[in-house]
């Protein structure tokens, strides 16, 4: 099988099946032993930090050691959802660069910028790193991630293709898969992710690949297949947060709300990642536990405040939460701030939903069109578009979009799948 995977959209694949990105958890019916494993993993990372610090105490001018320390801090921020590691990472990476300008420090700074959602800076650091380390696959990965988030589709495609040419491994095939998914080619995305799995070199890579394959199945309404991928991923790495979240979603979709809530509770206690907190809050709300849901929204607000205090921004998720909770002014302020920084399809969807919440549906539809421009088969996008069209009185089109949302993934949201179903029934009843 050839390792060179062409990303030209006119000829994505010439192989039999087809050719997915990045962004942990346990089965919700199991005891929380995975938390102990997660603590062990975190402790191992702290031991790595301590060993690096001791080495740097002996050899303070080791620029590679400082760059490695910065990279570990970035990873710690991800594992713990603790943004206080951002400034530690920045200090170590700047120290590395001050000793001697080097490509690894630039790559680390790019990874940190992506983590902080400063995608323009991440792009610039990646390009500088590539000047120092031409064709470095890690730098190309940072660049591909940044350009995808910035909405530079052609640039992201080129970066992913270069990455595949340089190093056709799990990281490059995974980014190819995400590119295909964004363009609506799910079979190609799944095939790329299977290639990534074949290339997986360690349990972490296997867990990641199984999660992404599970997400592709879940997002396209295939619950049993999704659950099987999550299970196989957990067999490789039992404490994986994303896989735990996947199992909780499946439990909720199958009607095991208590099991799903237990899984989410363990997850947010371990790492209050905004995505997990929002999903937990929505599940609580759908179960009628509104006071507990409010507590989670408070946790989310505090986490966002902490991120902003550490130089990070997450206006996109803040806009979506505000819009879903009926705060149209806050939603639009946040969405416009994000749109001013980047014009990706997911930000276009946030703009559409925020404008809808403010009664500006004609404008909202133009952004819903932008959100659909790449062809991504996304149930949430279709739901938003359907509700906007319904508000404009374009009922036939609204019915089609809402039906598409529920066809793609009837479990796309514990709250809004019900809203979509009710609105669809209402539109059909008006015929």
Task: Give pLDDT tens digits for 309-331.
Answer: 888 888 999 999 999 999 999 99
**Same domain for 39 and 151:** yes
Average pLDDT, the chain: 90
**Same domain for 296 and 229:** no
Q: Does 416 fall in a domain?
A: no
Task: Give pLDDT tens digits for 78-115.
Answer: 888 889 999 999 999 999 999 999 999 999 999 999 99
**Same domain for 272 and 245:** no
pLDDT at residue 40, as a whole number:
59
**Same domain for 231 and 115:** no
Domain termination residue (choose one: 269, 289, 313): 313
Task: Give pLDDT tens digits for 198-235.
Answer: 999 999 999 999 999 999 999 999 999 999 999 999 99
**Same domain for 279 and 162:** no
Task: Give pLDDT tens digits for 8-42.
Answer: 322 222 222 222 233 333 333 333 334 444 555 67
**Same domain for 155 and 92:** yes
Report DSSP letters for 80-122, one per residue: HT-TTHHHHHHHHHHHHHHHS--HHHHHHHHHHHHHTT-HHHH
Q: Does 96 fall in a domain?
A: yes
Does the reported pTM lie above 0.75?
Answer: yes
Q: Does 292 fall in a domain?
A: yes
**Same domain for 291 and 209:** no
For 113-146, give the secondary structure using H, E and C. Answer: HHHCCCHHHHHHHHHHHHHHCCCCHHHHHHHHHH
**Same domain for 300 and 225:** no
**Cα(327)–Cα(183) distance, integer angstroms:** 31
Q: Does 273 fall in a domain?
A: yes
| Domain count for the chain | 3
**Same domain for 138 and 89:** yes
Q: Does 222 fall in a domain?
A: yes
Q: Does 270 fall in a domain?
A: yes
Domain assignment of residue 128, given as a range: 35-167
Q: How confident is the model at residue 353 (pLDDT cuts 50, 70, 90)?
A: very high
Task: Give pLDDT tens digits for 152-164.
Answer: 999 999 999 999 9
Domain termination residue (choose one: 269, 286, 313): 313
CB 298 within 8 A of CB 102: no
Domain termination residue (choose one: 217, 237, 254): 254
**Same domain for 133 and 53:** yes
pLDDT at residue 314, as a whole number:
85
CB 304 within 8 A of CB 320: no
pLDDT at residue 239, as a whole number:
83
CATH, residue 103: 1.25.40.10
């Amino acid at each position: 099988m050839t390792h060179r995977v062409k990303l030209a959209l006119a000829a994505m694949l010439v192989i039999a099946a087809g050719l997915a990105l990045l962004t942990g958890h346990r089965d919700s019916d199991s005891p929380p032993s995975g938390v102990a494993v997660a603590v062990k993993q975190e402790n191992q990372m702290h031991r790595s930090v301590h060993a690096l610090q001791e080495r740097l105490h002996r050899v303070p001018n080791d620029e590679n050691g400082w760059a490695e320390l910065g990279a570990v801090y970035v990873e710690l921020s991800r594992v713990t959802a603790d943004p206080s590691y951002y400034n530690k990472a920045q200090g170590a990476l700047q120290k590395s660069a001050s000793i001697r300008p080097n490509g690894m420090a630039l790559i680390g700074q790019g990874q940190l910028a992506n983590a902080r959602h400063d995608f323009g800076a991440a792009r610039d650091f990646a390009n500088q790193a590539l000047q120092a380390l031409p064709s470095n696959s890690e730098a190309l990965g940072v660049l591909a991630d940044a350009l995808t988030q910035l909405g530079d589709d052609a640039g992201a495609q080129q970066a992913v293709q270069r990455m595949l040419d340089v190093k056709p491994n799990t990281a490059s095939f995974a980014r190819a898969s995400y590119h295909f998914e964004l363009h609506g080619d799910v079979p190609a995305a799944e095939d790329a992710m299977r290639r990534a799995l074949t290339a997986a070199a360690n349990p972490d890579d296997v867990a990641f690949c199984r999660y992404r394959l599970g997400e592709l199945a879940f997002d396209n309404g295939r619950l049993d297949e999704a659950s099987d991928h999550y299970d196989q991923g957990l067999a490789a790495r039992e404490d994986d947060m994303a896989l735990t979240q996947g199992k909780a979603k499946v439990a909720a979709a199958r009607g095991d709300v208590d099991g799903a809530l237990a899984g989410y509770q363990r997850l947010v206690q371990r790492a209050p990642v905004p995505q997990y907190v929002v999903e937990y809050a929505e599940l609580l709300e759908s179960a009628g536990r509104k006071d507990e849901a409010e507590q989670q929204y408070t946790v989310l607000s505090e986490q966002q405040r902490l991120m902003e205090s550490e130089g990070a921004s997450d206006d996109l998720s803040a806009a979506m939460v505000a819009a879903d909770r009926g705060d149209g002014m806050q939603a639009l302020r946040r969405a416009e701030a994000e749109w001013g920084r980047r014009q990706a399809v997911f930000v276009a969807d946030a703009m559409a939903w925020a404008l809808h919440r403010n009664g500006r549906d004609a404008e909202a539809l133009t952004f819903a069109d932008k959100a659909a421009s790449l062809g991504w088969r996304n149930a949430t996008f279709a739901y938003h578009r359907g509700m906007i069209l319904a508000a404009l009185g374009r009922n036939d089109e609204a019915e089609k979009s809402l039906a598409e949302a529920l066809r793609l993934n009837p479990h796309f949201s514990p709250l809004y799948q019900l809203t979509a179903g009710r609105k669809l029934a209402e539109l059909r009843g008006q015929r």
